[in-house]
Amino acid sequence: MRKILWRLWPVVGALAALLLADTAHAQKKTLVVALNQDPDILDPTLARTYVGRIVFSQICEKLYEIDETLKIHPQLAADLPAITDGGRTVTIKLRAGVKFNDGTPMDAESVKLSLDRHRTLAGSNRASELAPVEAVEVVDPLTVRLRLRAPFSPLLAQLTDRAGMPLSPAALKKLGDKFGTAPVCVGPWQFAERVAQDRIVVERSPHYFAPAQAKFDKVVFRIIVDDNVRLANLRSGDIDVMHMVSPTDATAIKKEGKFELSSVTGLGYDGITINLRNKTGKLNPPGDLGTPLANDPRVREAFELSIDREALNQVAWDGLFTPGCTPIPPISIFFDKSRKCPTRDVARAKKLLADAGLAGGYSFELTIVNNPRQRRVGEVIQQMAREAGLNVTLRPQEFASALKDDDDGKLQAFLIGWSGRVDPDGNIHQNQTCKGSLNATLACDERVDALLNKAREVSDVNQRRGLYREAIDLFTARRNNIYIYHQNYIVAFPKSLKGYQAVPDGLIRIKGTSWN
Amino acid sequence: MFEFLVQRAAISVVTLCVISMIVFTGVRMIPGDPARVMAGTDADATGLEAVREKYGLKDPIPLQYLRWAGLALRGDLGESIRTREAVVQTVVTKLPITIELAFLSLVVAVGIAIPAGVLAAVRRNTIWDVLTSGASLCGVSIPNFWLGIMLILFFSVRLSWLPASGFVPIWESPLANLQRMLMPAFVLGTALAAVLMRQTRNSMIEVMSADYIRTAYSKGLAGRVVVFRHAIRNGLIPVVTILGLQMGALISGAVVTEQIFVVPGFGRLIVEAVFTRDYPLVQGVVLITASSYVLINLLVDVSYSLLNPRIRIRSSAGDA
């Protein structure tokens, strides 16, 4: 036995050495950010995932940027645009001396090339965002002019996202539709490496116009899907910044005292979409669904009155999200502070059901995406609705197939969210207009369309706010969407990381942050 | 032997053809509109049409299959819809990771299971048998995700001995690679060891009661010699079968472990590809996984004949 133990010593020694040679903690010159999802293609024209925008925030700057208060200010543009010709001409002056990360200059020609690519490339996910733009013209080497078909107030907000990202013409020429495999834009960091579903590495750019803003040599984005695993990695020091902290974990992290938590109300919303007239698919003519939920507004009102938004937020999200009843988040200048959300009123809900001839109760199906978060919310809603006499059956379904069923008119009610846009138009128009591309409920009201179209044309904030107020009054009364809350983006990082600023779009911006 | 190999290879090719058809059709049977997933939730009807057109989703499935199979035969498995990276390239990146994890898990499993199984069989109905059987039951019963999280919390969070997750290629740093592979290999290996141990024990018990073993004992050979020289080779044949099957499962099915330890292997790749309806990636990865499965089974068949020449002889005689 002793002999065996003696022989095992080298093995034990080697194992100990292995364990003690700790390389787990990232080098201080490298910042490791954990994302909860693998981004899709890193091509601003074709990209569509939210997490992809976090990577773009470091490597692809935009003509305009938003700040913590959602105020828009120039980033690669020199100033806010000059809007003339009744809103049909938008002239943008570009910042001088800016270079792409391959060292080529960013000028009006390259911006025109990028905007045209965003508008016209087959399969572009920016085409609809820039649809009102009829032509892009080069005025001089540092000025571009956008000609619009009609005035379009949300345009500036569109240019604060991927539609406003200039791409290197040299890289476009070299890579074509494979641009996303090695994207080259303007940014404090440049793309270095990607291992699908594992990591994306970006390195400090030698060409960035404000080099002092990039304090880290490298930023590594690691893809860690599971909330618990992301959290364990934060605690072990394997990652520095944890994106999308679950509210249920946030309280525990805070108590530990080692990490800073940043929470900001997002631009999107979560709510219940109720099918009103989509019988055979949203591209087909509407039909009569023949159900009280679809046909009787009193049943939908009873359902809304059964929900206690504040209690739901406390139970499902530890009170860390923001209850709401419109698609506009509180941070927006278009948010109507005077609006009061309906409070829970079970007695009135019961009365409405009785008036609708459903005093004995009413049953319907609520589809939820099959994940723990949605199940939690669904179960709370189910319990609340039961007290009002509504028997809600939860139908968990995989996300893609639920979307398809929603489009095909197979769902009665669907618990779903929207990640949100800077301008309220992006949260409302596609969902609430008669022909809106996301209006799967086929709810239609010409008055809503007129108000929302008008809000696109006018640029005065007060006037737009008024138009949105009127439109929201109309569509919240028909309740094809019952808005429940706005998600908060919660990010955790060590207390030694300084300079982190939370912006309501929830994107992590590394620029300007540093170790203390 | 050559005839045996040709016969097995022919069966393997037919198997792969059938698998590729099933996978190709099966992926398209998954509910949900792939165009909607690819184009994003906010794409309009024109955008969806453009995606369907671009990826030939409007063509009949047999036509789509023939187009894909033709390219696959020339080694072109297409490109991922999500990342635009060539599927072959993605596989080339991921396969060594999964193979390494599977291999290390096997090392752990074999290192634990075979000595323990042999010990339990030789010392049957003693405390050693009870202990190893109990340990095996624990190994089977403990879920991977629980064990994985516990290891991370203990070795990474509490002791800071090992990195909690990730992967470093072995050629970049063998030490960092091993540090990151230890825990996932242990988690996968212990689960597999439990199965292997029971199989080894049963098989060895059967062999140890055979006539030739009794003869060996009666000749006065030492117990160790009987076990290691005469019993173990025959006793391991069923174990090798299980190993072959498990190796295939390890390559394609270490999803949970890969998720917990953030190992960028095949399991995660397949799951993500299915959820995002990345058809070319699913098809390519499943085809390659199936191929490796078939290949491993072919190797297992060959190894039978090496471990027990009678199998080879019977096969040559046409009664295998």
Q: Model confidence over B14-24: pLDDT tens digits?
A: 888 898 888 88
So what's the pLDDT on residue A349? Answer: 97
For residue B37, give the H/E element and its range.
helix B34-39
Q: What is the pLDDT of residues A91-125, one digit of tens each?
A: 999 999 999 999 999 999 999 999 999 999 987 88
Give the best residue of A194, A233, A430 to mutate against chain B (max B CB count within 10 A).
Answer: A233
Q: Is the pLDDT of residue B251 over 90?
A: no
User: Locate tokens 């075979």: which residue?
Assistant: B114
Write out the two tokens for B269. 């790749």
- Nearest-5° angle of CA B156, CA A248, CA A257? 55
Task: Determine the Cα–Cα distance for residues A243 and A224; give it in Å rounded to an integer.
Answer: 10
Give the least confident one: A148-162, A369-383, B213-227. B213-227
Q: Which of helix, strand or coil describes residue A468? A: helix
Q: Is the pLDDT of residue A177 over 90?
A: no
Contact assignment for A225 to B80 by CB distance below 8 Å: no
Q: Is the pLDDT of residue A516 over 90?
A: no
- The shortest CB-CB distance from A40 to any of B34, B83, B182 is to B83
Contact between residue B166 and residue B173 where contact means Cβ atoms under 8 Å apart: no
Q: Is the pLDDT of residue A241 over 80?
A: yes
The better pLDDT of the pair A445, B230 is held by A445
Decide the pairing of beta strands A362-369 and A64-66.
unpaired
Task: Determine the Cα–Cα distance for residues A308 and A305; give it in Å rounded to an integer.
Answer: 8
Model ipTM over 0.85: no
Q: What is the pLDDT of residues B271-318, one digit of tens each?
A: 888 887 888 888 888 888 788 778 877 787 777 767 666 665 555 444
Task: Please report residues of B whose CB lies closer than 8 A to that of A398.
Answer: 31-32, 275
Give the mean model confidence (pLDDT) for residues B145-160.
Answer: 90
Task: Please report residues of A whose CB lies closer than 8 A to that of B85.
Answer: 181, 196
C-alpha torsion sign, points B148, B149, B153, B157? positive
Q: What is the pLDDT of residues B101-127, one digit of tens each?
A: 988 999 999 999 888 988 888 888 888
So what's the pLDDT on residue B317? Answer: 47
Q: Please choose, from the candidates A488, A515, A164, A117, the residue with its C-alpha nearest in 3D space to the C-alpha of residue A331.
A: A488
Task: Please report residues of B whose CB lies closer than 8 A to that of A401.
Answer: 30-32
Task: Please report residues of A whose CB lies closer than 8 A to that of B47.
Answer: 123, 125, 127-128
With CA atoms as reference, the chain A residue closest to B174 would be A18
Task: Determine the Cα–Cα distance for residues A455 and A465; give it in Å rounded to an integer.
Answer: 8
What phi and psi, each to the nearest 5 degrees, are found at residue B315?
Answer: -60, -45
Task: Please report residues of B whose CB lies closer than 8 A to that of A22.
Answer: 160-161
Write the CA distances from B164 to A24, A90, A153, B153, B222, integer angstroms.
8, 51, 48, 8, 47
Task: Determine the Cα–Cα distance for residues A62 and A74; give it in Å rounded to an integer.
Answer: 8
So what's the pLDDT on residue A27? Answer: 47
Q: What is the pLDDT of residues A386-410, one digit of tens each?
A: 999 999 999 999 887 888 899 899 9
Write out the two tokens for A431. 């969902």
Give the best residue of A15, A18, A222, A238 to mutate against chain B (max B CB count within 10 A).
Answer: A238
Write out the two tokens for A191. 């793309």
Contact between residue A515 and residue A496 where contact means Cβ atoms under 8 Å apart: yes
Residue type, B286: V
List of residues 6+ apart from B218 with CB closer than 8 A: none
Task: Determine the Cα–Cα distance for residues B67 and B82; give it in Å rounded to an integer.
Answer: 20
What's the CA dihedral at A247, A248, A249, A254 to 10 degrees?
70
So what's the pLDDT on residue A197? Answer: 81
Give the least confident one: A25-29, A250-254, A476-480, B255-259. A25-29
Distance from CA of B195 to the nearest CA of A (A): 26
Contact assignment for B42 to A228 by CB distance below 8 Å: no
Task: Determine the Cα–Cα distance for residues B170 and B176; give it in Å rounded to an integer.
Answer: 8
Q: What is the pLDDT of residues A215-227, one digit of tens each?
A: 999 999 999 988 8
So what's the pLDDT on residue A7? Answer: 58
The better pLDDT of the pair A191, A226 is held by A191
Give the best residue of A198, A404, A428 to mutate against chain B (max B CB count within 10 A).
Answer: A198
What percent of chain B is modeled with pLDDT above 90?
A: 11
Q: What is the pLDDT of residues A279-319, one digit of tens each?
A: 999 889 999 999 999 999 999 999 999 999 999 999 999 99
Contact assignment for B165 to A23 by CB distance below 8 Å: no
Task: Determine the Cα–Cα distance for residues A308 and A325; give it in Å rounded to an integer.
Answer: 11
- How many CB atoms are located within 10 Å of the residue B13 CB? 10
Give the best residue of B42, B108, B144 to mutate against chain A (max A CB count within 10 A).
Answer: B42
Q: Which of helix, strand or coil describes residue B319? A: coil
Write out the two tokens for B307. 């471990």
Q: What is the pLDDT of residues A14-60, one digit of tens each?
A: 555 555 444 444 447 999 999 998 898 899 998 888 899 999 999 99
Q: What is the pLDDT of residues A51-76, one digit of tens each?
A: 999 999 999 999 999 999 999 999 99
A128 has a chain B CB within 8 A of its CB? yes
Binding-face residues of A in 278-297 toward B, CB within 8 A: 283
Q: Is the pLDDT of residue B205 over 80?
A: yes
Residue A190 pairs in a beta bridge with A203
Q: How confident is the model at residue B320 (pLDDT cuts 50, 70, 90)?
A: very low
Task: Please report residues of A whose CB lies closer than 8 A to that of B276.
Answer: 40, 400
With CA atoms as reference, the chain A residue closest to B162 would be A19
Give the mean model confidence (pLDDT) for residues B4-10.
Answer: 79
Task: Determine the Cα–Cα distance for residues B32 and B71; give it in Å rounded to an integer.
Answer: 26
- The shortest CB-CB distance from B149 to any of A19, A232, A400 is to A232
A26 has a chain B CB within 8 A of its CB? no
Q: Which of helix, strand or coil describes residue A368? A: strand
So what's the pLDDT on residue A266? Answer: 96
The better pLDDT of the pair B72, A153 is held by A153
- The shortest CB-CB distance from B54 to any of A22, A123, A235 is to A123
For residue A503, give the H/E element and its range.
none
Give the mean model confidence (pLDDT) for residues A227-232.
Answer: 90
Report how far Cα A466 is from the mean position of its chain's Cα atoms. 25
**DSSP assigned state of A2:** H
Write the CA distances from A20 to B155, B159, B272, integer angstroms.
11, 10, 35
Q: CB contacts < 8 Å between A and B, how many? A: 165
Q: Is the pLDDT of residue B200 over 60?
A: yes
Task: Please report residues of B whose CB lies closer than 8 A to that of A437.
Answer: 42-45
Residue type, B150: M
Task: Determine the Cα–Cα distance for residues B188 and B249; give it in Å rounded to an integer.
Answer: 11
Contact assignment for B165 to A123 by CB distance below 8 Å: no
What percent of chain A is modeled with pLDDT above 70?
A: 95
Task: Please report residues of B whose CB lies closer than 8 A to that of A41.
Answer: 82-84
Q: At what angle do helices B87-122 and B279-307 cross, to 10 degrees?
A: 40
Q: Please choose, from the candidates A304, A280, A282, A293, the residue with its C-alpha nearest in 3D space to the C-alpha of residue A412.
A: A293
Q: Which of helix, strand or coil describes residue B86? A: strand
Give chain B's mean pLDDT: 83
Give chain A's mean pLDDT: 92
How many helical (H) and strand (E) elements, i.e. helices and strands, does chain A have? 16, 21
Task: Please report residues of B whose CB lies closer than 8 A to that of A177.
Answer: 84
